[in-house]
Amino acid sequence: MFHKEGYPSIALATLVLVLCVWLGMSIESKVLGSLPIIAGVFLWIIILQFFRNPKRNTPKSEKGILAPSDGTVVKIEPFTDHEYFGEPRTLVSIFMSPLNVHVTRYPFDGKVLYSQYHHGKYLLAWHPKSSTHNERTTVVIEHPSGEPILYRQIAGALARRIVNYAMVGDVVKAGEDAGFIKFGSRIDVIVPNDAKINVSLDQKVKGGETIIAELLK
């Protein structure tokens, strides 16, 4: 129900809620006493919804590439990745608002070929240079077809911690927990140019459920 990365924050928010309730009940005025209680409940609900980790019905697809996260498709364009491929490919970029589920999920079954963390800046997630300048992790997984596919977790202006569970050599399953990004961010997926793109700009997608692209080979 809730992601394990959120347990410390949930515990802290619960403690704050208890203190707010105690403070509110110690105030004689019911109106004034209700204010800290309302504030504590509001904070608690915000934290719970941010770290929620709903179950997903992951579809079976031999050629499919699933969205690694919830969010909105903000880019579909040619892109040359110099970190791993060094050649033009197609970029599908998904922006996550603070209201989205921020769990990262593996986009298909496969073997992790590359996993690298990069320190960086905290530009707005939709900034053109955020893919190469922001704090980020790059993961490449070998698709069952043999094609390497890259996804990149990118921190945004609010995000201050990227969690990546993928390690080179891991055999992973589509839809399983691959990590987490706290407080707003972006996920880039880089696919071959001949891949069939199944999503459009401004489309809402669900991590582990929406097939964003299909390989033709």
- Hey, which residues are catalytic here? 185
Rounded CA-CA distance 91/77 in Å is 5
Q: Say how many CA atoms lie within 13 Å of 171 toward its Cβ.
A: 1
Nearest to 71 by CA among 213, 206, 212: 206
Rounded CA-CA distance 176/166 in Å is 11
197 class by beta-carbon count within 10 Å (0-12 exposed, 13-18 middle, 19+ buried): middle
Token pair of 212 as six digits: 């964003």
Rounded CA-CA distance 58/102 in Å is 17
Radius of gyration of the chain (CA): 20
Decide: 101 and 150 in contact? Cβ < 8 Å. Answer: no
Rounded CA-CA distance 68/76 in Å is 15
For helices 30-50 and 7-26, give the axis angle rounded to 10 degrees.
170
193 class by beta-carbon count within 10 Å (0-12 exposed, 13-18 middle, 19+ buried): exposed
